[in-house]
Every structure is written in C-alpha cells, then in structure tokens.
Amino acid sequence: MECVLHWLKLVAISFMVLVLVLKVMVLLWWKPKRIEDHFSRQGIRGPPYHFFIGNVKELVGMMLKASSQPMPLSHNILPRVLSFYHHWRKIYGATFLVWFGPTVRLTVADPDLIREIFTSKSDSYEKNEAHPLMKQLEGEGLLSLKGEKWAHHRKIIAPTFHVDNLKLLVPLVAQRVTDMLNKWSAMSISSGQVEIEVCEWFQTLTEDVITRTAFGTSYEDGKAIFRLQAQQMVLAAEAFQKVFIPGYRFLPTKRNISFWKLDREIKKSLMKLIERRKENLGNTVQEKGPKDLLGLMMQASNSSPNIRAHDIIEECKSFFFAGKQTTSNLLTWTTVLLAMHPRWQEQAREEVLRVCGSRDMPSEDDVVKLKTLTMVLNESLRLYPPTIATIRRAKVDAELGGYMIPRGTELLVPILAVHHDQAIWGNDANEFNPGRFSEGVARAAKHPVGFIPFGLGVRTCIGQKLAILQAKLALSIILQRFSFSNDEVSGAPKSVIFVLLQILKMKEQLQYPKTSNVPLKQRLPSHNTRWAMASSITMLCKFEQKEKARKEVGGQRKRLRNRCLPFGKGGEGTLSHGKGAQLLRVANETMAKPH
Ligand code: HEM
C-alpha cells in the first residue's frame, strides 16, 4: 500500500513538473513562434526570437557598440540613440517585430498608423504595463494609471496646468531663473565668463518649478518630500541595474529596507503636511494663488473616498519623474543648439530685447510674442525629443492599417525616428532649421503627426504648457543677460561635445550627480532608455555676460540692475532683498507669502 502511495506521489509530482515545463515552453517558445508566424504571414518580419531572451542580447550589443564609438558632429542621432531601430529598419523596413525577452513589440513609425493608435482607434490600445521596478521609480500616478482611475485623476489635476493658472506662476519661475543667473554672474565676476554645466543647473531649476506646481504654498515641506523621493529613485534605479527576479523587491534586503524606510518617511511627512495645510486654512482647502497638485488632490479627497494619501504620494512621484528630466533636457539641448548656431542665438536675443524692452523679466504677454524662441524650441524638441519613444498595448485583437494585431501585442512608437524621417521632414531632416516652424507646427512637416514630442491623443502630456512656459522664460532671461558658446570647452575640441552623447541607463545618470569632479570623458550624457521616458545629458557651455545686451535695453534697466544686481560688486542674493524693480518686488512679495 505504502509503495502504491509513494508511486502515486511520484506520478503526481512528475505530472506537475511536466505541466510546469509545458507551460514554460508554451509561454517562452510556442507562443512567440506563433506570433512570429502570424506577423510573417502579413509580411511583417524582424530579428528571430531566441528562447527567453528574445533579442535582448543583440539590443544591448548594439547599444553598447553605438555608444562606445565617437560620433561625428551631427544632429543625426538616431543611429546612436535608437541604434536597434536604425539597424533593423534597414533590413526589415520601418514596421518590424522586436522581442524584449518574451514580450513582442511592433515598431510603428508611419504617421497614419500612429494617428490611428492614439486617436481614431485609441479605444483598442492602452498604456503598457510598466516593469514593477519602473513603477517604483515613476510612481503609480497619471503616467501609468489606466481606465477610470486615470480619467478621474486627470480631471482632478488638470486645473494645475490651465493657462490662467500657469500665468500666476510666471513671476515665480522668472524669479527662480533670475536667482540662478545671479549665481552665474557671481561666478563670472573676475573674467566676465563662466563655464556652466547647464544640465545640472537646469535640473535644479526644473525641480524647483515642479515642486511649486505640486505643493504650492507648502513649497519648503514639499521640497523635503521630493528629496526623499529622489533618494528612493536612486535605490529603485540601482535595483534596475540588477537581473530582475520576480518578488525580490519584497525580500528584506538592505536596499529594500532603506526603500521601505523612505516610503514610511514620505508618507509621514505628507500626512503632516496635509494636516498642517488643513489647519492653516481652517479646514477649508480653498486657497488664493496658483492651484497646486496637493491642494486639488486634497479637495478631491474630501468628496471622493477613492483619493487617499497614497494616491497623492504616487502623483507627486509621477510629476517629479515625468517633468524634471524632460524639461531640463529641453533647456539643455536648446542652449546647446543656440550655442552651436550663433545666428539663431542672435536672432532670438534681438526678439527678446525688442519684445521685453526695459523689463528685466518677461511678462506672460511677452512670452506669447516670442515667435523665434518658439520656433527654436520646436526645432529642439524635434531633433532632441526628451521622450524618445512611447509604447501602447493592444487591449483587444485590433486592426491597424490593414494589419491584424493580436491582443497583448505592444506597439513601440519611436518618436525620435519620426522626428528625423526625411519622408516627413525633407532632405534637411537632420539639420537645425527652426525656420521650418515659421508657419506654425501644423505646416512644418509633410504630415501633421510628424511632430509629437508631447505625445498625441487623450494621454498627451499634461505638463507641456508648463514645460514650454518655463523654457521660454528661462531662455529669454538668459539671452538678455548672457551670450553663450560651446567651443573649446575645458580645452576640449568642439567634436567632443557630440562624442559625449551616449545611451546610458538611469544608473549612469544617477551615478554622476556631481559631475564636476569626474573626468570629462566619464561625464557621459545619457539619452536614457525607458522607452517612454526622459533622457538626460551632461553638457558644458561657456557663458559670457552680455554687456552689449544690457546697454541696449537702455538706462532704466541698467540703473535698476546697478541697484539690484551689482555685477562685479558681489551681487549674489542681492535680488531677494527686494530693493529695486517693481516687477522684482512683486515676485519677491509672492515668494514671501507664508508657507
Ligand atoms: C519638455 C518637457 C516634456 C516632454 C517632452 C514631455 C513628454 C511627454 C510625453 C511624450 C508624454 C506622453 C507619454 C505617452 O503617451 O506614453 C507625457 C505624458 C505626461 N507628462 Fe510630460 N513631458 C514634458 C514635461 C512634463 C512636465 C513639466 C510634467 C509635469 C509637471 C509632465 C507630466 C506628464 C504626465 C503626468 C504625463 C502623463 C499624462 C497622462 O497619461 O495623462 N510632463 N509627457
């Protein structure tokens, strides 16, 4: 009897092992092969699937090869930044299959098909499921939410980004930019010149602005929370470098324990912040001044039990992640482009001086009139889109441009490739030519969907107006006060600037937060790869104080400047004392409101 039981046990175990092996084979071999067949019958091919790893080995190999070679001085960055796409497109055409492990992705760069995915047939597609570690990094907020929860959050948060609300932020952003430039001025005191690692400075600036957008009057407390979240991101990014083991993030490892500790601290600080804010407002969350993420979410939580502290925390993460690198990259690349193209720099400066006249800080009306700067920013977003690609997943079996797309297939839209496509942009697609935007965005390309730096359709970037406003304000104030070039940086020849463009993962970005002590060659700028998210670069530019520009805008401004910003007389921080220009005083008063 015992023998029979033993035998039965053995059979049961063998059966379970067999089922498991079969399941694994179906998932990792039979299904991918069936998908390959399905697409190949429709004429869509791609590099062959390899068991379990898909095309990851080739992908990583190509990325490493591309980033290890010097790059000619050119804006043709596709071979470098999306090397796999550039390589396989030549073999299989623009629409091909690529395997990220056992996950299949179909590349789609045809503007007509992109329009279908994001607008006319958007019901059939949804955001793809983010990697669990990625979710820790970007938060489970607007960026990754789906369905009703996403729609509810988007509706709550949207007023933060309404034009009227953003207008209220203008003095604040302008003040932050001026503070930054005062520091540059102080640094350039002896020679009138200063070498600036623009990316670092722009990241700090952007972080400041996002903190204000998210936390409003609770800015200082909000900053502390963002700092904790930034530490969490470093831990999550570290984990991202390791081989992914499902469930590993739940084990009490040193990193996980630190992560959880930070999580608790964030929650505690936010709860305190919410309580304090409620008390300050006598339990009403209606406030004067710009609407902020925190206030709006608190208000919503009063009427909707679905909005909890956890949701607020996750939305803050989402803001921080989605807004910081992207906007600072836009600013960095635009500065570099203007440094490389002095004629456009001069044209943009002339316009700023003409529009702003004697005003030190552009007003909200000025910003709208800066047409050249708008063209330059668009061209910068076209050539160096901070989001290089995005992904959607077919929710159902769908039809796309005549192709049958099985449910679960992921569609990879290489925004960068679309922006550099000669069929859409003409023969000068890889050249810097802001003039192509002179008649507006709609007429710049041969196809209206050729320009999608902020995405398309209902899930288009919620922060785009803020990003553009911030970029315009920052650049116009910089142009007023400095001229800049990127030749002979630190004795490095011009071409080094572009050799510096590299594809790196988040780890490198976070590994070199203080780049000033790192040898130039190691300060590798990164166009990082979460297909959907931000890229980052490290870039040195030489800034020269613009004596001529200061004179050009006339005596009044010069007088004010002499009082407010005594260049050459040790002026850092002088602005915040609020003597001088009325505009500045207004900004200072706004800043001085009790937190
Ligand atoms: C130059 C700057 C920026 C660029 C190029 C950019 C780009 C994008 C793109 C392409 C998307 C759509 C992603 C997709 O469809 O998968 C997106 C979504 C989003 N962006 Fe931005 N972004 C920028 C700045 C910002 C800022 C400043 C914020 C917030 C403070 C922000 C917050 C978001 C959020 C929350 C989403 C998700 C929207 C949703 O799904 O409802 N972005 N962004």
pLDDT band at residue 250 under the 50/70/90 scheme: confident
Is the shortest distance between the CB of 390 and ligand 1 below 6 Å?
Answer: yes
161 Cα–ligand 1 center, Å: 12
Higher pLDDT, 367 or 289: 367
- In our burial notation (b when 16+ CB lie closer than 10 A, e otherwise), range 556-595 reads ebeebbeebbebeeebeebbbebebbebbeebbebbeeee
267 Cα–ligand 1 center, Å: 25
Q: What is the pLDDT of residues 506-520, one digit of tens each?
A: 223 322 233 333 333
Q: How far apart are CA 345 and CA 351, in angstroms?
A: 10
Higher pLDDT, 556 or 336: 336
Question: Among 199, 461, 468, 470, which is best to mutate for testing ligand 1, by the most ligand atoms less than 8 A from CB?
Answer: 461
319 Cα–ligand 1 center, Å: 9
Tell me the two tokens of residue 65: 């090869």
Q: How far apart are CA 187 and CA 69, in angstroms?
A: 35
261 Cα–ligand 1 center, Å: 29
Is the shortest distance between the CB of 335 and ligand 1 below 6 Å?
Answer: no
What mean pLDDT do residues 535-539 have? Answer: 45
Is the shortest distance between the CB of 461 and ligand 1 below 6 Å?
Answer: yes
Torsion of CA 170, 176, 181, 184, to 10 degrees: -160
534 Cα–ligand 1 center, Å: 9
Indicate if the pLDDT at residue 585 is higher than 80.
Answer: no
Q: What is the pLDDT of residues 187-208, one digit of tens each?
A: 888 888 888 888 889 989 998 9
Question: pLDDT at position 533, please?
Answer: 29
Beta bridge partners of 394: 125
Q: Identify the residue whose C-alpha is closest to ligand 1 atom 37.
A: 143
pLDDT band at residue 541 under the 50/70/90 scheme: low
418 Cα–ligand 1 center, Å: 18
280 Cα–ligand 1 center, Å: 32
Q: Which residues contact 568 (CB under 8 A, 6 or more apart)?
A: 189
For residue 387, what is the DSSP state? S
3-state secondary structure (DSSP) of residue 460: coil
Query: Which string of DSSP letters, residue by residue, matches 175-221?
Result: HHHHHHHHHHHHHTTTTSEEEEEHHHHHHHHHHHHHHHHHHGGGHHH
387 Cα–ligand 1 center, Å: 8
Cα→Cα distances 438→104, 372, 378, 443, Å = 40, 8, 10, 9
What mean pLDDT do residues 527-541 have? Answer: 39
444 Cα–ligand 1 center, Å: 22
Higher pLDDT, 421 or 287: 421
Cα–Cα nearest to 110, from 403, 478, 508: 403
Cα→Cα distances 159→155, 164, 214, 292, 591, Å = 8, 9, 12, 8, 21
Pairing of strands 103-107, 410-413: parallel
Q: What is the pLDDT of residues 79-136, one digit of tens each?
A: 988 999 999 999 999 999 999 989 999 999 999 999 999 999 999 999 998 877 778 7
Q: Identify the residue whose C-alpha is closest to ligand 1 atom 1.
A: 327
Q: Which residues contact 411 (CB under 8 A, 6 or more apart)?
A: 105, 106, 107, 108, 117, 125, 391, 392, 393, 394, 400, 405
Q: Rg of the Cα trace of the chain?
A: 26
Q: Which residue has the tokens 């010097």?
A: 70
Residue 392 — φ and ψ, nearest 5°?
-130, 155
179 Cα–ligand 1 center, Å: 26
Which ligand 1 atom lies nearest to the CA of residue 456?
15
Q: Which residues contact 573 (CB under 8 A, 6 or more apart)?
A: 182
pLDDT band at residue 282 under the 50/70/90 scheme: low
Is the shortest distance between the CB of 459 and ligand 1 below 6 Å?
Answer: yes
What mean pLDDT do residues 396-415 have? Answer: 97
Range with the largest mean pLDDT of 57-66, 152-161, 573-582: 152-161
Indicate if the pLDDT at residue 226 is higher than 90.
Answer: no
Q: How far apart are CA 8 and CA 517, in angstroms?
A: 67
Indicate if the pLDDT at residue 394 is higher than 90.
Answer: yes
Helices 342-356 and 309-340, axial angle in degrees (round to 10): 110
Is the shortest distance between the CB of 534 and ligand 1 below 6 Å?
Answer: no
Q: Are the CB atoms for 402 and 112 separated by under 8 Å?
A: no
Is the shortest distance between the CB of 453 and ligand 1 below 6 Å?
Answer: yes
Q: Which residues contact 15 (CB under 8 A, 6 or more apart)?
A: none
Tell me the two tokens of residue 199: 């990316």
pLDDT band at residue 463 under the 50/70/90 scheme: very high
Question: pLDDT at position 248, please?
Answer: 74
The angle subtended at Cα 495 by Cα 345 and Cα 61, nearest 5°, is 120
> Which range, of 35-49, 339-353, 450-464, 535-549, averages the lowest pLDDT?
535-549
What mean pLDDT do residues 468-487 have? Answer: 91
Q: What is the pLDDT of residues 232-246, one digit of tens each?
A: 878 877 776 665 666
Is the shortest distance between the CB of 326 and ligand 1 below 6 Å?
Answer: yes
Q: Are the CB atoms for 553 and 167 separated by under 8 Å?
A: no
Q: Which residue has the tokens 């932050």?
A: 176
Q: Considering the chain, what is the average pLDDT of its residues? A: 80
Tell me the two tokens of residue 396: 């159902």
Is the shortest distance between the CB of 466 and ligand 1 below 6 Å?
Answer: yes
Q: Which residues contact 558 (CB under 8 A, 6 or more apart)?
A: 550, 551
Q: Which three-class secondary structure string do you get for 46-95?
A: CCCCCCCCECHHHHHHHHHHHHHCCCCCCCCCHHHHCHHHHHHHHHHCCC
Which ligand 1 atom lies nearest to the CA of residue 154?
41
Higher pLDDT, 416 or 494: 416
What mean pLDDT do residues 341-346 have? Answer: 95
Indicate if the pLDDT at residue 217 is higher than 70.
Answer: yes
Question: pLDDT at position 288, please?
Answer: 65
Indicate if the pLDDT at residue 303 is higher than 90.
Answer: no
Question: pLDDT at position 111, please?
Answer: 97
Higher pLDDT, 453 or 219: 453
Q: What is the pLDDT of residues 50-61, one digit of tens each?
A: 999 999 899 989
Is the shortest distance between the CB of 328 and ligand 1 below 6 Å?
Answer: no
Q: How far apart are CA 372 and CA 338, in angstroms?
A: 12
Is the shortest distance between the CB of 54 and ligand 1 below 6 Å?
Answer: no
Question: pLDDT at position 371, please?
Answer: 97
Q: What is the pLDDT of residues 20-34, one digit of tens each?
A: 999 999 999 999 999
